[in-house]
Amino acid sequence: MEILIVDNPSKLANYAATFIAARVNQAERLVLGLATGSTPVNTYRELSALYRSGKLDFSKVVSINLDEYVGLSAEDKQSYRQFMNENLFNHVNINLANTHIFNGKAEDFAQECARYDSLIVEKGGIDLQLLGIGMNGHIGFNEPDDYFSMTSHVVDLSTETILSNAPYFESVDQMPKQALTMGIGQIFKAKTILLLATGESKSAVITSALLGPVTPRCPASILQLHQDVTILLDCEAARGILGAKGVYYKEIH
């Protein structure tokens, strides 16, 4: 696990975009696992800027998003499909037919999860997975649980997640209480993982995920066992690990 610490969120976005762009440009074809939420927004902005300046080509990228809210259609303003269109897909030359997100309005969610599982296999697995981290250690929408889920599934969102994401909706009642998510097993199988975290509010969960026990009670802790994971933090999110014994990190100024 490589832990990199940068000064602030804008440097983090810049570094993350450069990291992703290098992989995209090197590969003949890249399967990119994507996340939503506030953390990657500036990274997506930087990726769009790299595309505009001719330094990045998304034509050979296949994207697969981590999750979607149950009950929201692709047209819904709050859906993760719309989030991706607005924050990235509309600004770069990715072929929309190569972008994949769960259908939150599927009639049969078991079938939709099976479709997603097959899709990931059919595309040859995820080459680079971008992750954020929830306040409770969730990755994708894999909430703390008694076990690590292997495949795509419907999840009941935790109270903590509902409260964190409710501000994106008109009221907490409007926020879906369930989501479809890739399983931890599928995330873990990604060849390379890049996890981003910014702000002091993430410092406690980052400390438990990186220095605490590997446990499904903190789903992101599984990343300690992955062979190619980069954890990119700003100083605030890194506060709990700075100077901690037995942890190796690089500060980039």
CA atoms of 253 and 250, how far apart (whole Å): 10
Q: What is the DSSP letter of 180?
A: E
Residues binding ligand F6R: number (CB under 6 A): 13
Among 61, 139, 194, 231, indicate the residue that binds ligand F6R (CB under 6 A): 139
CA 43 to chain centre: 12
Minimum distance of ligand F6R from residue 157's CB (angstroms): 10
Backbone region of residue 246 per phi and psi (left: phi > 0; alpha: psi in -120 to 50; beta: other values): left
* Alpha-carbon Rg for the chain in angstroms: 17
Query: Catalytic annotation on 145?
Result: no
9 touching ligand F6R, by CB under 6 A: no
| Of 50 and 196, CB closest to ligand F6R | 196
Q: Is 136 a catalytic residue?
A: yes
Among 31-39, 43-51, 88-96, 114-122, which window interacts with ligand F6R (CB under 6 A)? 31-39
Distances (CA, A) of 235 to 9, 129, 243: 9, 23, 12
Length of the chain: 253
Amino acid (one-letter) located at 149: S
Q: Counting contacts by CB under 6 A, is residue 66 touching ligand F6R?
A: yes
> What residue is closest to ligand F6R based on CB?
132
CB contact set of 198 (below 8 Å; sequence gap of 6+): 9, 12, 39, 233, 234, 236, 237
Of 98, 127, 138, 165, the catalytic one is 138
Binding ligand F6R by CB under 6 A: which of 36, 82, 103, 186? 36
Q: Which residue among the candidates 65, 136, 142, 165 is catalytic per the annotation?
A: 136
Contacts with ligand F6R by CB under 6 A lie at: 35-39, 66-67, 132-134, 138-140
Catalytic positions are: 67, 136, 138, 143
